[in-house]
Structure 1
Amino acid sequence: MKDTNKHQGLRNQLVKQLEDKGITDKNVLEAISKVPRHLFLDSSFENFAYQDKAFPIGADQTISQPFTVAFQTQLLDIKKGDKVLEIGTGSGYQTAVLCLLGASVYTIERQNKLFKKAQLLLPKLGYNPKKFVFGDGYKGLPDAAPFDNIIVTAGAPFIPQPLMAQLKIGGRLVIPVGENEQIMTLLVRKNEKQFEKQEFGDFKFVPLLENKN
């Protein structure tokens, strides 16, 4: 599959929709306008790739709705050069958006099939995360901590302690929390022990899986 002027036109329409839904961060909108979402989906979904919908990507996982990607990314408030931990690489679409924003991205995926696919696809499209990890997102990546930002792209029943511990002071953790439906939650680390918590309404994600191996 190629990326064509037609695809660019559809992306521009998508960005307009996201603005209408309340996304205001120009950098995030610009990144969404550049990432060829259709290349992260099975070719049978190509004609639907720029609808504001989630789609299956195999292994019982989905590529998040563009609004959700934009909303979470906007909450992260990424500055160029920020060290970002992504829990749940999935298709790699969110990873690509983070890379375009100039972040140094460390990304973890526990589904081997998706991990291998994203590891091949992202560099091929010119997106180069700092590190790909096959492992358990609940544990984060202590060896590379602390992080400026942490984003979790699956529904977690609770906020994992290791992720909170791996956040820099002043850092932001964006995570959907809940069992069947999730509340988008932002934690900002104020000091060693204190976090400020904000909640941003209901979302629906596939569950964050623990590594049972």
Structure 2
Amino acid sequence: MWVFDLATLRFLLVNQAAIATYGFSREEFLSMTLQGIRPENERAALKHYVESPRPEFSSAGIWHHRTKDGRSITVDIVSHALDWHGRQARLVMVRDVTEREQAMMALQESESNKSAILKNALDCIISMNSRGEITDFNPAAEATFGWTREYVLGKTAADLIIPPEQREAHQMGLKRYLETGESRLLGRRIEIDALRIDGARFPIELSLYSVEQ
């Protein structure tokens, strides 16, 4: 938390949490302006933001700040108008969300990689959730089974591609895996019959894998 002067952007007050997060001493903070903790490419945006009309309480959203040792951190900013001994000022609350943002970026990268693998794989890849509902159906699966991805999402594999006489065994196997975490088929390659959109049967090689999310 800190208080800054709207006219000069100079720090007027900082608390211990800000000192610990940014690494500057109290004396160093009080000799600086807000520009001192901003990367060069955000300083113009900061100036524009501060000079624009603001409500008494304002959420500034996500910004990047610079610590004393040069690290870049991602912060979520909210502020409140304040009269500081006759000077227009704002009280700023800062929340460090660096780890959250890094985790989100890693997840997005992981999802992009997964999407590329699914799209370009020559083998059929069908993903299901714990209820047996299809959550992904790659282009190879579309070409092989005849169903579109949009149609099959949310439907069960048992109803679409598993022959009627094998559906009960499939559902019992899924139930047993959810209850015990054990399956005789995980990691193995087996041969079974499957159904195309027109009801035609054909033999496939099937491998099952569990993915934690």
TM-score clears 0.5: no
Length-normalised TM-score, structure 1:
0.23
Length-normalised TM-score, structure 2:
0.23
| Bigger Cα Rg | 2
Of structures 1 and 2, the one with the larger relative CO (CA 8 A, separation 6+) is: 1
